[in-house]
Chain A
Amino acid sequence: MHVPVPPPRHTTARSRRLLQATAWALGLAAGTAFSQTGGTGTGQTLRIQINSDIRSTDPGGNRDDNTDNVLLHVGEGLVALREDTSIGPMLASKVDTSADGLTYTFTLRDGVKFQNGATLVADDVVWSWQRYLRPASNWRCLPEFDGKGMTKVLSVEAPNPKTVVFKLERASALFLTMMARPDCGSAAILHRSSVGPDGQWKEPVGTGPYKFKEWKRGQYVELTRFDGYTSRAEPRDGLTGGKKAEVENLRFVVIPDSAAAKAALYSGGLDAFISPSPADVVEMRKRSDVVVDNTPVMSMIALLLQTNDPVLKDVRVRRALALALDTPEIASTVTEGLSVVNNSVVPSSSPYYDAVQATGFKRDLTAAKKLLAEAGYRGQPIRMIANKRYESLYSSAVLVQAMASEAGINIELEVLDWATQLDRYTKGQYQSMAFIYSARIDPSLNYEMVSGDKATQPRKAWDSPYAQARLTESMVSRDKARRQVLFDEMHKQMLQDVPMIVLFNASDATAMRKSVTGFKGWAPAKPRFWNVRLDASP
């Protein structure tokens, strides 16, 4: 620890200055060479920005979105999401379901290799699943498989080295969907050497096209090509399909500040920038050295209205608010035209999004004012919580406030930090809030996240027995047509009840330098960097 020394005795500082001056001169020479792209030829590294450090290297354990994004290159499960968000086989070559839905038989593909050279056999699947089912492993999806949620896994067995049999307690339409969930690490099958002899996590040894190389905490995570990767035959399809590690190294660099990331992308210090803001996208589209890939995704921005609140419990007030807003305008302004309006909980990129789902609210100030008068609303302030961590959320709240005031609805914005807002959300302690829901890959899951019994689950926005009955049925029935009917009925009811006003589904953009080719974004917003090439010229 340095002592602040008075001026006449600053010899150490003086020589330090000289050293730094020399280094500066040298560094300047090196610095001009610095701002090139990441290497050419063999030993190429694709530098990708992530906005916070990953939580751990254990798929589905202590994780967040960034952790998933990285680890989905390393691990693969029995099944995985297809490009259209249906479920397809990944490590399994086929899946057979018994008629009663209680037994699932997975036949494994031949010759699949782990990143340590071992060949995948059924025992590895059993080992992985037994580990997931142990509470101590902290697997995110455990509640769905241990009886508390959708079903209970009674046993996982390997009758022969190529077959794995799952026996369930109750049938569910979502068994394979849950298994494929990206936020549960796709239930990646890992080799037992990922864990130490004492059961402590070491590092992931999976079957994916990239293997774990290095994690420099707070700075970057690096993955390197797995040369022995056994690819599926068909073309790239979501998280399944054919995968080829074209670029040798993937380096996920931690840059929380999006302005800095953008600057780095422009100057060549970065090759890919995940989730630039809509304003940035507009700016980048004007440049010739940067390419933006934009896809609608399944996360959702909505206004939650607390139906227990004295002012908002009158459905006329809620409906008036919905009619006071020009939701298509909000959607297109906030996202700079990248997203369109969606007043339904079902994401617009879902296979279940049909004409009924596309119906919503149309702005009508006169009707809104009439409803307010009927309800006896006298301009009482309605507090709306928002936060600045999610720009689109904040911008939406500002626009909502302005538009609502035109109908005479007095909204006061309360900007909190995310942790506080989450807390209030969970406890249901709000009048209204602008909220963002992360992606769910099935409409049942979408409806499930917003509806429920408020007494036991205060975070649920919609307490409706009508909806609950249909929701439960949709989770069990495996008949697509029937499920569509159920979802449509729920949506129509929601437009009547107005427990919330869904604004739009987020749009995920990925900005890349022109030298990056082959990338394609998709609805679940999990970026895939296999089958992506880095051209030599910057």
Chain B
Amino acid sequence: MKKLKTHTLIGGVLIGTLLILAVVAAVWTPYSPLGIDLRSKLQAPSMAHWLGTDEFGRDVASRAMQGASTSCLIALLTVALATAMGLVVGVVAGFMRGWTDRVLMAFNDTLLAFPGLLLALGVMVIVGANQWGIVLALSLAYAPSVVRVVRGTVLSLREREYVEASRMIGNSEIYTMWRHILPNCVAPIAVLATSMFGWVLLSESALSFLGLGVPPPAPTWGNMLASARPYMASAVWLCLVPGLCIALTLLGINLLGESLRDRLDPRTERA
């Protein structure tokens, strides 16, 4: 119980701050995130610019705020889409077994074997080099992982007595899946989903690093981190700010995810 409270508290504070900033950023930031001011390039944090300025004189704090909205929106949409797709496929595959399982897993492995970068490049060429392209590309890249974990869990669960019982009394497969299997998948999925949020944030960062990702000059934490590399020694705040933002966000999500899982699980011991 005590652990629950601390986790929730810290996680809540972090994510709460993030959400507030993201929402505020939609209407107001200290400076325009795209506002170039070449005379104030690469300034260290000061009263005028709380987190300093970048190589074009843009205010880092404002960019970080807008980046919060963008990066988190992309990550949220991707996790939602990937989890939804993966859950459906994983439960069906694991529960049905037989040919359904084999065919689904064949496609799954195909997708899993695709390098994320190629997938991203391909999807973005078709959909366009924008946020939706990235969401789609990353969802396709991560859904197979969800399928695998769900299927693994389902494989163990389906042999349990109550599942057997449900089938024996004549419940349809879908009902059994819905009522007995699905709820028990929630715990591993919750853990996976929170890890995935982090992976997606990092994947977006990697894509930006390699020259893809959300097109500049719109800021995401990923592309801010990528642009900061040449200035690591001379303007270290450019590298620290986005990295810290990602780290703190992940921390918050993970902590909240933990307490969420503890709460969701009906059989948690109340110590």
A→B interface (CB under 8 Å): 258-259, 277, 279-280, 282-283, 329, 333, 387-389, 391, 394-395, 398-399, 401-402, 413-417, 420
Complexed CA–CA distance, A333 and B36 (Å): 12
Does B56 touch A at the CB level, under 8 Å? yes
Contact status A279-B129, CB under 8 Å: no
Does B212 touch A at the CB level, under 8 Å? yes
Q: Chain A contacts of B217 at CB under 8 A?
A: 398, 401, 413
Q: Is chain A's interface secondary structure helix, strand, loop, or mixed overall? A: helix
Contact status A283-B36, CB under 8 Å: no
- Please pick, from A277, A333, A395, A416, the residue contacting B129 in the complex, using a CB distance under 8 A: A416
Complexed CA–CA distance, A283 and B55 (Å): 13
The 5 listed contacts between A and B (C-beta, < 8 Å) are: A283-B234, A389-B211, A399-B36, A414-B129, A417-B211
Which of B13-21, B68-76, B153-161, B225-233 makes up part of the contact surface? B225-233
Complexed CA–CA distance, A279 and B231 (Å): 7
Does B188 touch A at the CB level, under 8 Å? no
10 additional A-B residue pairs with CB within 8 Å, beyond A258-B230, A259-B229, A401-B217: A277-B230, A279-B231, A387-B211, A394-B216, A398-B216, A402-B34, A402-B36, A413-B216, A414-B215, A415-B129
Distance between B70 CB and nearest chain A CB, rounded to angstroms:
15
CB 8 Å contact bits of B4-37 with A (1 = contact, 0 = none): 0000000000000000000000000000001010
Contact status B215-A413, CB under 8 Å: yes
Distance between A100 CB and nearest chain B CB, rounded to angstroms:
52
Complexed CA–CA distance, A388 and B215 (Å): 10
Q: In the complex, what residue of chain A is closest to B55 when comparing beta carbons?
A: A279
Contact status A333-B230, CB under 8 Å: no
Complexed CA–CA distance, A387 and B217 (Å): 12
Q: Chain B contacts of A398 at CB under 8 A?
A: 36, 56, 216-217
Q: Chain A contacts of B215 at CB under 8 A?
A: 413-415
Complexed CA–CA distance, A401 and B34 (Å): 10
Does B103 touch A at the CB level, under 8 Å? no
Q: Chain A contacts of B212 at CB under 8 A?
A: 417
Complexed CA–CA distance, A329 and B39 (Å): 11
Distance between A122 CB and nearest chain B CB, rounded to angstroms:
50
Does B38 touch A at the CB level, under 8 Å? yes
Distance between A261 CB and nearest chain B CB, rounded to angstroms:
11
Contact status A329-B38, CB under 8 Å: yes
Complexed CA–CA distance, A93 and B234 (Å): 51
Complexed CA–CA distance, A315 and B219 (Å): 34
Distance between A127 CB and nearest chain B CB, rounded to angstroms:
44
Complexed CA–CA distance, A420 and B129 (Å): 12
Contact status A415-B216, CB under 8 Å: yes
Complexed CA–CA distance, A265 and B216 (Å): 30
Distance between B31 CB and nearest chain A CB, rounded to angstroms:
14
Q: Chain A contacts of B231 at CB under 8 A?
A: 279
Complexed CA–CA distance, A387 and B213 (Å): 12
Q: Chain B contacts of A388 at CB under 8 A?
A: 211, 216
Distance between A533 CB and nearest chain B CB, rounded to angstroms:
28
Q: In the complex, what residue of chain A is closest to B234 when comparing beta carbons?
A: A283
Q: In the complex, what residue of chain A is closest to B214 when comparing beta carbons?
A: A415
Knowing A387-B211, A415-B215, say if A259 contacts B38 (CB, 8 Å).
no
Does B121 touch A at the CB level, under 8 Å? yes
Q: In the complex, what residue of chain B is closest to A419 when comparing beta carbons?
A: B121
Distance between B259 CB and nearest chain A CB, rounded to angstroms:
28
Near A by CB (< 8 A), chain B positions 215-271 give 215-217, 229-234
Complexed CA–CA distance, A502 and B125 (Å): 29
3 nearest A-B residue pairs (beta carbon): A388-B211, A415-B215, A402-B36
Q: In the complex, what residue of chain B is closest to A332 when comparing beta carbons?
A: B38
Complexed CA–CA distance, A237 and B192 (Å): 64
Q: Chain A contacts of B229 at CB under 8 A?
A: 259
Q: Chain B contacts of A391 at CB under 8 A?
A: 230
Q: In the complex, what residue of chain A is closest to B37 when comparing beta carbons?
A: A402
CB 8 Å contact bits of B46-71 with A (1 = contact, 0 = none): 00000000011000000000000000
Q: In the complex, what residue of chain B is closest to A389 when comparing beta carbons?
A: B211
Complexed CA–CA distance, A42 and B233 (Å): 35
Contact status B211-A415, CB under 8 Å: yes
Q: Chain B contacts of A282 at CB under 8 A?
A: 234
Distance between A12 CB and nearest chain B CB, rounded to angstroms:
26
Distance between A410 CB and nearest chain B CB, rounded to angstroms:
13
Complexed CA–CA distance, A280 and B230 (Å): 7
Near A by CB (< 8 A), chain B positions 137-162 give none
Q: In the complex, what residue of chain B is closest to A387 when comparing beta carbons?
A: B211
Q: In the complex, what residue of chain A is closest to B56 when comparing beta carbons?
A: A398
Q: Chain B contacts of A277 at CB under 8 A?
A: 230
